[in-house]
């Protein structure tokens, strides 16, 4: 009877160890890959939370055209790489697990879905900021044009009211003209008021809001002055 061969046992053990490593290597690779993916997704989630805070705090309604456009472009520039990464990751992971005939780990699947939804929410918020910026420019512009038009009409009207040389016939003609003007001017002031209501709801610029309040008080007072003057001269 021959003694057992230690070398043969050792060779057999090494062979089994190699085979076991070969079996476990894909599992180890998959595990390390999944950990890396989860860490990347976590970092992306943190970045997206910061971006959402930036987007929500941006005062797009009051912003000037150049500032609003550049800021929204910056937001989009931060968001797009993440959305592209998510799509690329979904494609890679789907193909990988399909080839191995395995199911994507629930943690990875859930994290990708959460980040996808979160990114879409940010995209919607950015679009809302674009809309707010456009609305702000349009409303402020309409308000400013309305005020300038009113003040121009008011200056012309006051100059004619101060004229001492108006003959009775000319005065009657002016009074009739003024009555017609007041109809269109009142509509114009109503439009200005609608703009002001929107601005007061949306704007966070306290100084701008205060200036608007002063302007509207002045407009109201001027309209009353015109109407009073009109009534006084009708009685004469």
> Is pLDDT at 141 greater than 90 in this prediction?
yes
More confident residue, 216 or 32: 216
Give the integer Cα–Cα distance in Å for 209 and 200.
7
Higher pLDDT, 172 or 207: 207
Q: What is the pLDDT at residue 16?
A: 58
Instruction: Kindly list the domain boundaries of the chain, sorted by start residue.
Output: 7-133, 138-235
Which pair of tokens denotes residue 108? Answer: 């990875």
Q: What is the pLDDT of residues 7-58, one digit of tens each?
A: 554 455 555 555 545 454 455 446 577 778 788 888 888 999 999 999 999 9
Q: What is the pLDDT of residue 210?
A: 96
**Domain covering 138-235 in this structure, CATH number:** 1.20.58.60
**Confidence at residue 26, expressed as pLDDT on a 0 to 100 scale:** 52
In the 3-class helix/strand/coil scheme, how is the chain assigned residue by residue?
Answer: CCCCCHHHHHHHHHHHHHHHHHHHHHHHHHHHHHHHHHHHHHHHHHHHHHHHHHHHHCCCCCCCHHHHHHHHHHHHHHHHHHHHHHHHHHHHHHHHHHHCCCCCCHHHHHHHHHHHHHHHHHHHHHHHHHHHHHHHHHHHHHHHHHHHHHHHHHHHHHHHHCCCCCCHHHHHHHHHHHHHHHHHHHHHHHHHHHHHHHHHHHCCCHHHHHHHHHHHHHHHHHHHHHHHHHHHHHHC
pLDDT computed for residue 64 by the predictor: 87
Each residue's pLDDT tens digit, 146-167: 999 999 999 999 888 877 666 6
């Amino acid at each position: 009877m021959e003694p057992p061969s230690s070398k043969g046992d050792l060779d057999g053990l090494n062979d089994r160890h190699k085979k076991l490593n070969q079996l476990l290597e894909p599992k180890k690779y998959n595990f390390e890959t999944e950990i890396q993916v989860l860490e990347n997704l976590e970092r992306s989630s943190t970045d997206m939370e910061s971006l959402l805070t930036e987007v929500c705090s941006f005062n797009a309604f009051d912003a000037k055209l150049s500032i609003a456009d550049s800021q929204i472009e910056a937001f989009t520039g931060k968001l797009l790489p993440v959305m592209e990464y998510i799509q690329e990751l979904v494609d890679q992971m789907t193909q990988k697990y399909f080839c191995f005939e395995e199911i994507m780990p629930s943690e990875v699947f859930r994290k990708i879905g959460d980040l996808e939804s979160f990114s879409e929410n940010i995209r919607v918020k950015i679009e809302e900021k674009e809309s707010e910026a456009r609305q702000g420019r349009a409303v402020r512009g309409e308000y400013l044009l309305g005020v300038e038009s009113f003040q121009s009409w008011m200056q012309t009207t006051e100059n004619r009211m101060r004229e001492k040389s108006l003959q009775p016939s000319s005065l009657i003609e002016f009074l009739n003209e003024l009555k017609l003007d007041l109809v269109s001017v009142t509509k114009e002031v109503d439009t200005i008021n609608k703009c002001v209501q929107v601005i007061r709801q949306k704007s966070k610029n306290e100084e701008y809001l205060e200036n608007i309040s002063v302007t509207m008080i002045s407009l109201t007072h001027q309209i009353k002055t015109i109407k009073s003057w009109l009534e006084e001269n009708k009685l004469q």
